[in-house]
Structure 1
Amino acid sequence: MARRFNRKKKENKCRLRSLNKSALKQRKQRGVVANAKKFVLNLSIYTLSNNEYLLLGKGLKYIPTPSNVNVQRQILKDFDEFSRKLRCKYMFENKDKPVIHPFRTNTGFKPGPTCNALENYIHKTKLELSSIPLKERQENLSISERNALASLKNNPDIVIKKADKSNTVVVMDKCKYIKEGLRQLQSKHYIEVERPNLMNIQNVIQEKLTEMHSNGYLDKETFRFLNDSKNIPRCGQLYLLPKIHKIKGTVLNALNDGLCSLKDLPPGRPIISQCATPTYKIGAYCDHFLLPIVKKQLTYIKDTTDFIVKLESLRPPPEVLFVTYDITSMYTNMEFDELITAVKEAYQNADKPVADIPYPKVSDFVFLIKTILENNYFEFNGKYYKQTIGCAMGSTVSPEVSDIRMYQITHMIMNQFEHANKVLFHGRYRDDGFMIFNGTRDEILKFFEIGNSCHRYLKFTYEISGETANFLDTTVYKGRLFQTEGKLDIKSYIKPTNNFQYLQRNSAHCQSVFKGFIKGECIRHLRNTNDKQILEIILDDFRMHLLNRGYSETEINPIITETKLLARSKALEKQRNKRAIPTPLVMVTKYNPCVKGLKRRLLKYWKDLKSDSDCNQIFDSEPMVAYSKHKNIGDLIIRARLQ
């Protein structure tokens, strides 16, 4: 007997199934939005939509899918530049190869046609690239997210910045942001001025550089790099990075849940963008001579690797104390006169080995440093200011100038410290210091008593522990290795402010970026952790955070497995001098996921080129393809200058 069909019952089932799918979709969407909100802190009165949260939650480095209009034209333009490099290499390869100049500028020299083999390769490859196929464009932002991007970009009432010590995206009211900026500008460090005559400053600098060049203290290539006489200088721009780590945890949680609001913004770290200012290039020039001086300081720490290598060579007694300190606002709390005097003394007394460019005279060098410090003009909210105390955070030369003076101060403190012989290790990276002290807590406190009374503005904050200390991105502690071998235990330090906002997997970056990022982080954890059991835990935790950002097990697991098999000593090896590595042939172009088979087409006729005996010797290795990025979300919605 045939089963009777109940149409009404069937329709109800379909309706329920449709409702269940819709409810499931909405629940999933709410989960995605809730996850995005973990990476965004809204301190403004503006209510962000779900799509705006989804957009900002992707991170400021996320690149929307670029347009595929004129892609082939751009590739051919970039290949023309690559062809110029090939011809230059062919023309100048047999000449003596000078050391790569530190201030080399692109002259734009275009050689004429060379040998038949090279010209045939260029011609055939250009034809090959002109017909390169394009894949169908797959948008990685929805229409609503594109609209959210336009909405945030054109909203005049809010300011969006990255947080000071995390990747959290912070949305602020423009009026409150300006209020916080003006509050800082009312301090003793700044004065308001009339619009500065930047051309006059630039002319003074160019006159001094011309004089140095004519006297033989500035070579032709460096003079060409520093010569800005044809460019119109710009004023610096002040912007603030909100220090949301200063907000109490309970208040921060309430802000994330929308249960409260802040009357005033947390303090911001003042950064002065120096791009295209009159002193920008001479700052890079002076930094070239100051960096070797800083590297020879007894307390100098280059980076985490340098710190670990120095620390693991020690075998301190069991009762030692770990001491970390921070110098409050080191950059902006030193006066011009003391900085100039410190730099002059250090430069005069420094060993000056034979260099690839001439050393400037002491008087000329001091003149340039003084010019940089005393002409730090910047704009904020349509008004002009000048910094009167300290180095500008954002200037190329500021770290080295501050380091030199700070080394003098810590050296003076150590000379006055009666228990200096009990300091087994003392290292400093910028404004952060680390000491291993073989004495009592009361004894080491005298070091900071001297430090906090020896300078008008500088103050030391510190932490003292007999068991563990956090420095840079490591935690130093007395663990299993210390008990068995007397060697200090070290592991990667994860800051409480870290929200693990790694680059989302569907960003329009080339595939090597994602692989390189995963491998780089794994090697960093391997280098920073000398206990294999703890390394396993850290890498497993890293894997989970990657999965939350859209990465797959198939691309994560092989890299993590390879890292575990790698010898840690190899990760701690010093990197080779980049200037000693031969410059490879590189075709640079913008990455576009629509382009298919670029490298393969670039190499299609390379064997024909190598069949020529001369070219075979000159072009000994295959060319590489390097990608420059398109604008990311941060580039599109963040500006140093207030609109």
Structure 2
Amino acid sequence: MFEKRNTQTRKLNYLIENQVENPQITDDVPEIEFFPRFLNLSDCELTDEEKVLLNKGIKYCPKHELSNDVIQNLAVDIENSLDRQETAVKYKCVDTLKQCMKSNQPNFNSREFSLIKQIKNKCIDQDVTITKADKNDSIVFFQTSEYDSKMRDFLSNNDAVLLPRDPTNKYQGDVKNVIKYSCLLTEKEKFKLINKNPTVPKIYGLAKVHKTGIPLRPVVSYRTAPAFRLAKKTNDTYRYFTKFKNPYSTYNSIEVVDKLKNIEVPPGAKLVSFDVVNLFPSIPVPELKTLLEENIQRTTKLNPLLKKELYDFMCMCLDQNYFAFKNRIYSQRDGLPMGSPLSSLCAEIFMYHLEKKILEEENEFKDKVIYWVRYVDDILCLFSDTEEEIQRFSQYLNSLHRNIQFTTEYINEGRSINFLDLTISLRNGKHEFEIFHKPTSTDVTIPWDSSHCIIHKRAAFTYYFDRLLRTPMTEENYKKEYNRILRIGLNNGYSLHWIKKILESRRKIQMCAIICPSHQQSQKKKTTYRKLLYTGDVSNKLKRLIETDTRKVALYPNRVLGRTLYNRKDTLPNDKKSGVYKLICNDCNGYYVGQTARSFEKRIKEHVSAHTNKAMNKSNFAQHLLEENHSFNPTTGVKYLHFCEGGRTLNVLESIEIRRNNPDGKILNFQLDVLDSPLIRFVTSVHDNKTK
């Protein structure tokens, strides 16, 4: 009885509090001017047809027909998702693929693929670099000379040091040694944490279209670095054992609203925004290491040996601070490694060290700070004193550490300020909120006609509506944001009915969460996740076959427009990549199909060395050359069949290529059935039929 009454009370309170969030809005959606979806700052002239394609946005994915390559990619994903014993499911997947192939139609998007190729060729011929805008989703065209000049300005302004040689092999050796003798890691973890083919991290720039002169924000693609996997694991390990959490840090604007909406504003209090100048490059690593050691020593969950090991892991990852630009390798003297999974945690640790001095230790400003909320390097502060005291407080902040400097933003006499995607105002002793959009914000989202699964298309609108419903606003601001969401949907080909159904769904879910809070089950089934290429309804059917109670499938799109066009990073030469390869004999056209998780260059050198040293037991291909007295030319006798990283994918692709090449009798591999699977046999037969 009491539970029912409590439920009814919660429902009534919810409806009263949110009655303003259900205004009567007509279907007359006003036009809104958004920032352009692509910005051409180069001399490259584009046709109207090319502009139409670029205006579909970076998230657009043209529909691919069920070609040999698509079928092969689906088969690889299915093999990686299923256990080897699940043969019955694999046969069902083969039957599904066969049925879909019968109804497969020629690719009606072939013109779009031609246009993409046309744009890429223009950029090569006219020396154009394509990148993404920072903090929005515009495509930006630069003349390569201008792009390179802006990147070099960053390198010189941040004291990047040119290295005489590539330190990757040394760093890889250090990582291997520290992992090999680790007591924190299991044997399985040790194997997974070593990158078999590490390369120098590549740096590139995002265009700051919201700033004068459009400078570049540097980004480092760190995932190929020797320490990337170890840094990711170390980040999780440190958080687990130290239980680190910074109470002054926030994750998103919804959390900010939840923190502030019930705080009473004292008379005379003012909103101030502080920004940390170049946070990541400014963190002093020697001092940070001291903090890390102190924090690790305080934990009671590790013995002294394991504490030292965790500390050594962190120090090694922090020391590998290097990147490449235009095939020249640089080291950053100070600061955290850009792109490292550990850098965000380390920045939080050091900032928390400073924030405790500001907000917890005794000082003349401590009691004047009503709240302090930080998102990475942006800080929102409610300060209860005069403008002169705010200036003194700003000077105090800049005196805490010579490396960490703050800029101050104080507008509208401290009555309102923009923070993240919110405009926060002070009225009548309370906070008022409005969703803030920068002048450079775009209407880019996944278009309706893009080859994405419906879950992905719905996701952006789910976020927009959740933010709308959870941000307390006036009716006018609510209508304004609601119409903006509708306009984004209409501009991307969605119907009003489809968009409004999402709003109704999110409103019901939010109401249910408040009225009947769910209790988490004490025991949850362990769920594993697998990925599957999305290529229309066939992927949905395959997903239903693969999924079980404990195995879920996440669909992913083929190459989207942005990923296809971007040419902002140094490209890795083919011989430095890993994957599946073919070696061809000079004299008899016999060939060997192999795989390597290391670089092709290293593996092929081993074949050549086995031939030179007459080590038949180390290479089937070398054995053939020695027995038949044949020759091999590493320059012309190598063909790269597939580029991929290690793991089961390599085994599947190698098996496909061995079976595909076996019928002509010229293959030199001794082991011809590496993996025998219905899917591999099917992929091979499809290829054979289409090539006849």
The alignment's TM-score, normalised by the length of structure 2, stands at: 0.69
1:629 counterpart letter in structure 2? P
Q: Secondary structure of the residue that 1:489 maps to in structure 2?
A: strand
Partner residue in 1 for 2:458: 515
1:631 aligns with 2:559: yes
User: Cα–Cα, structure 1 residues 290 and 493, in superposed 2: closer, same or farther, change >3 Å?
Assistant: farther
| Structure 1 residue 141: Cα displacement | 6.5
Higher relative contact order (CA 8 A, sep 6+): 1
CA distance in structure 2 between the partners assigned to 1:451 and 1:546 by the alignment: 44
Give CA-to-partner distance per residue, 1:199-253, whole Å, 9 cap, x none: 22211222122222xxx3323333232234xx13200111111212112xxxxxx
Aligned to 1:612: none
Task: Say whether 1:503 aligns with 2:446.
Answer: yes
Corresponding residue number in structure 2 for 1:409: 354
Q: Does residue 1:267 correspond to 2:215, yes or no? A: yes
Quick one: which amino acid aligns to residue 222 of structure 2? Q
Is the aligned partner of 1:131 residue 2:79? no
In structure 2, do the counterparts of structure 1 residues 122 and 379 end up closer, same or farther at CA, with 3 Å as the change threshold?
closer
- Secondary structure of 1:478's counterpart equals strand
2:184 is aligned with 1:239: no
Q: Superposition pairs for residues 527-538 of structure 1, below 5 Å? A: 527-531=470-474, 533-538=476-481
SS of alignment partner, residue 452 of structure 1 = helix
Matched letter for residue 241 of structure 1: L
Q: CA deviation at 1:404?
A: 1.0
**Where in structure 2 are the equivalents of 1:59-98 lying within 5 Å?**
59-70=57-68, 71-72=70-71, 74-84=73-83
Q: What amino acid does structure 2 have at the position aligned with 1:420?
A: K
Separation in structure 2 between the aligned mates of residue 575 and residue 346 of structure 1, nearest angstrom:
36
1:151 maps to 121
Of 276, 289, 313, the match for 1:327: 276
Secondary structure of 2:554's aligned partner: strand
Shift of 1:393: 2.5
The aligned amino acid for 2:95 is L
How many angstroms apart in 2 are the aligned matches of 1:587 and 1:178? Answer: 39
| Deviation for aligned residue 1:152 | 4.8
1:584 is displaced (CA, Å) by: 4.5
Alignment CA distance shift 1:135-1:127 (3 Å):
closer
The answer to whether residue 176 in structure 2 is matched with residue 206 in structure 1 is yes
Question: Residues 453-472 of structure 1: matches in 2 within 5 Å?
Answer: 453-464=399-410, 465-472=413-420
Letter in 2 for 1:542: I
Which residue in the other structure is 1:370 paired with?
Answer: 315
* Deviation per residue, 1:387-434 (Å, 9 max, x gap): 111113211111111111122223334446412112121122211111
Map 1:95-134 onto structure 2 (within 5 A). 110=84, 112=85, 123-124=91-92, 126-132=94-100, 133-134=102-103
Q: Which runs of 5+ in 1 are unaligned?
A: 1-34, 85-109, 114-118, 248-264, 607-618
Give 1:550 shift: 1.6
Q: Does residue 1:593 correspond to 2:539, yes or no?
A: no
* Deviation by residue 1:281-332 (Cα, 9 ceiling, x = unmatched): 1211221134465853231323333322221232222432112211011001
Q: 2:142 aligns with which of 172, 182, 186?
A: 172
Task: Please report the RMSD computed on the Cα atoms of aligned residues, expressed in angstroms.
Answer: 3.4
* Contact 1:422 1:439 (C-alpha < 8 Å) held by counterparts: yes
Contact in 2 for aligned 1:279/1:372 (Cα 8 Å)? yes
The residue number in structure 2 matching 1:477 is: 425
- Asked whether the equivalents of residues 445 and 460 of structure 2 are also in contact (C-alpha less than 8 Å), the reply is no
Aligned residue pairs, count: 532
After superposition, what is the alpha-carbon deviation per residue over 1:166-225, rounded to whole angstroms, capped at 9, x for unaligned? 11211111111111222221235310011223222211222122222xxx3323333232
Inter-CA distance 574–507: structure 2 relative to 1 (3 Å threshold): farther
Against the structure 1 CA distance between its residues 449 and 416, is the aligned structure 2 distance closer, same or farther, given a 3 Å change threshold?
farther
State the match for 1:12 in structure 2.
none
Which amino acid counterpart does residue 48 of structure 2 have in structure 1? N
Q: Is the 8 A contact 1:274 1:280 kept in 2?
A: yes
Q: Secondary structure at the match of 1:631?
A: coil
Map of 1:342-353 to 2, 5 A cutoff?
A: 342-349=291-298, 351=299
The change in CA–CA distance for 1:597 and 1:488 in structure 2 (over 3 A counts) is: closer
Residue in 1 aligned with 2:49? Answer: 51
**Aligned residue runs from structure 1 range 314-463, under 5 A:** 314-349=263-298, 351=299, 361-414=306-359, 415=361, 417-463=363-409
Q: CA deviation at 1:578?
A: 12
Show the counterpart of 2:570: 642
How many angstroms apart in 2 are the aligned matches of 1:575 and 1:419?
A: 42
The question of 1:220 aligning with 2:170 is answered no
| Deviations 1:323-353, CA, capped at 9 Å, x for gaps | 221101100112321222222223333x456
Q: Are the structure 2 counterparts of residues 601 and 41 from structure 1 closer, same or farther at C-alpha, using a change threshold of 3 Å?
A: closer
Q: Name the CA distance, whole Å, in 2 between partners of 1:462 and 1:572.
A: 42
1:38 is matched with which residue: 36, 39, 49? 36
Change in 2 beyond 3 A, CA 1:225/1:547 = same
The 3 A distance-change label for structure 1 pair 444 and 218 is same
Is the Cα–Cα contact under 8 Å of residues 43 and 143 in structure 2 kept in the other structure?
Answer: yes
Partners of 1:572 and 1:190 lie apart in 2 by 56
Alpha-carbon distance in 2 for matches of 1:384, 1:343 = 29
User: Could you tell me how far 1:571 is from its partner in structure 2?
Assistant: 8.6
For the 8 Å contact 2:35–2:441, the answer to whether it is kept is no
- Which residue identity does 2:466 align to in structure 1? I
Residues 320 and 436 in structure 1, CA contact (< 8 A), matched pair in contact too: yes
8 A contact 1:76–1:129 mirrored in 2: no
| 137 and 563 in structure 1: CA distance in 2 versus 1, 3 angstrom threshold | farther
Check the 8 A contact 1:140/1:507 in 2, yes or no.
no
Percent of aligned positions with the same letter in both sequences?
23
Q: Can you list the C-alpha shifts for 1:356-380, whole angstroms capped at 9, x where unaligned?
A: xx99733333322222232222111
Specify the alignment match of 1:284 in structure 2.
232
- Once the 2 structures are TM-superposed, how far is the Cα of residue 125 of structure 1 from its aligned partner? 5.6
Aligned residues of 1:344 and 1:366 also touching (Cα < 8 A): yes
| Distance in 2 of aligned mates of 1:573 and 1:314 | 26
Q: Contact 2:280–2:343 at 8 Å: present in 1 too? A: yes
Cα distance in 1 for residues equivalent to 2:238 and 2:424: 31
Instruction: Give the counterpart letter for 2:286 in structure 1.
Output: D
